[in-house]
């Protein structure tokens, strides 16, 4: 028994870069490793699955922070060239203010519930502490994670207030 191998002329390989009329749309994505302040700019048909695959074996928490739907390889290439001065290696870039600003475009700040019972247990910041925290967030972004229980903010009230004030996602 023999089989003939039939290859669709539109087939471009198993890596998801099929550009034929029945191609699965690809998306340019930004995955953040906040601990190392690195961002991966890549392209995939399913960015959430790409994130899950990258998270396996990675000691840092990775976060999908921006997806440009129906992005093309040309856009990914252009972004790599735009941010080439911040390249760590291949598709990983230092989280510069320029990249942070680009990622912030189109993002919305998720409204969180503030539970006064939790908030009561946290000591208030002095004016100088709050000013220092605000200066740091404006300079480097809000890199420390907020602690949530569902949609309720449990820890990170001061950071959340500052981010809300300045429109930082």
pLDDT for 7:
40
Kindly list the domain boundaries of the chain, sorted by start residue.
27-104, 113-166
pLDDT for 90:
87
The ranges of the chain with pLDDT < 70 are 1-23, 105-111, 142-145, 150-151, 167-169
Residue 53 main-chain phi, psi, to 5 deg = -65, -40
pLDDT for 72:
76
**Dihedral of CA 86/92/94/96: which sign?**
positive
pLDDT for 145:
66
pTM: 0.53
61 close to 34: Cβ distance less than 8 angstroms: yes
Q: DSSP letters of 65-133?
A: EEEETT--HHHHHHHHHHTGGGEEETTEEE--HHHHHHHHTT--PPP-EE-HHHHTTSPPPPHHHHHHH
C-alpha 155/C-alpha 169 separation (Å) is: 16
Q: In what order do the strands lie in the sheet with 27-33?
A: 62-68, 27-33, 38-44, 92-94, 87-89
Residue with tokens 């709050």: 130
Geometric angle at alpha carbon 141, from 111 and 149, rounded to 5°: 35
pLDDT for 111:
63
pLDDT for 92:
95
pLDDT for 2:
40
C-alpha 169/C-alpha 163 separation (Å) is: 7
Residue 27 main-chain phi, psi, to 5 deg = -130, 135
What are the distances in angstroms from CA 26 to CA 42, 43, 84, 92, 94? 10, 6, 22, 19, 24
């Amino acid at each position: 028994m023999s089989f003939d191998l039939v290859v669709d002329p539109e087939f471009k390989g198993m890596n998801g870069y099929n550009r034929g009329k029945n191609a699965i749309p690809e998306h340019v994505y930004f995955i953040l490793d906040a601990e190392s302040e690195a961002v991966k700019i890549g392209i995939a048909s399913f960015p959430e699955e790409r994130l899950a695959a990258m998270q396996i074996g990675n000691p840092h928490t990775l976060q999908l922070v921006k997806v440009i739907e129906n992005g093309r390889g040309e856009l990914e290439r252009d972004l790599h060239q735009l941010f080439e001065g911040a390249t760590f290696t291949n598709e990983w870039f230092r989280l510069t203010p320029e990249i942070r600003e680009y990622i912030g475009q189109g993002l919305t700040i998720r409204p969180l519930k503030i539970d006064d019972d939790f908030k009561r247990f946290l000591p208030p910041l002095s004016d100088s502490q709050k000013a220092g925290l605000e200066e740091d967030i404006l300079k480097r972004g809000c890199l420390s994670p907020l602690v949530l229980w569902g949609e309720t903010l449990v820890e990170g009230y001061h950071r959340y207030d500052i981010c809300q004030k300045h429109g930082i996602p």
